[in-house]
Structure 1
Amino acid sequence: MCTYTTVKDAVDGSAKGPGGSWFHVSDVTVYFDHPVHAMAEHTLNIDFTDPSRGPAARVALELTAESAERLVAAIQSALAAAPVEMRH
């Protein structure tokens, strides 16, 4: 069963895309659904994009729920370890 829950938000960063070139990412879409490539029944899918550059400006992740939870914890730990003045 799919939830069809999709979360979209704005981001500001860079990603390494097809051909190894870096590009600006401005949008993120997160959803829990069937993966395209990962060997799992369902995955947390994260797409970082720059819509102004077309469909090739995309980096996609498909993570198992356990891996996604570990990623969230790792991000929170890394941010907590950074001095506040560096985070703005």
Structure 2
Amino acid sequence: MADGCKGYDAKTNREAARKRGICPAIPYRSTTKDKPKFFPKLLYRGRARIEQTFGKMKRFKRVALRCEKTARNFRSIVSFAAGLCLIKFVHTA
């Protein structure tokens, strides 16, 4: 698990997520006492993939800066950027 999001390991964050009906996929710190044995690893991997995808999309300047002001044009630029990311992924894997 990545160490980057362990800073959100707090009871208040987990409780707030549960109140909204969300299963918190926040890894526990190594120093946390009474860690539960269950951790949703599959859910955590999925969330990490989504964050990585957004990071890759933001490398495209027009997506990151929202240069396109209409929803239609922005959706087109995001689709184009996603296609380029997919092509790169397919040809390097």
Q: TM-score range by the shorter chain?
A: under 0.3
TM-score, normalised to structure 1's length?
Answer: 0.27
TM-score, normalised to structure 2's length?
Answer: 0.26
Higher relative contact order (Cα pairs below 8 Å, separated by 6+ residues): 1
More helix per residue: 2
More strand per residue: 1
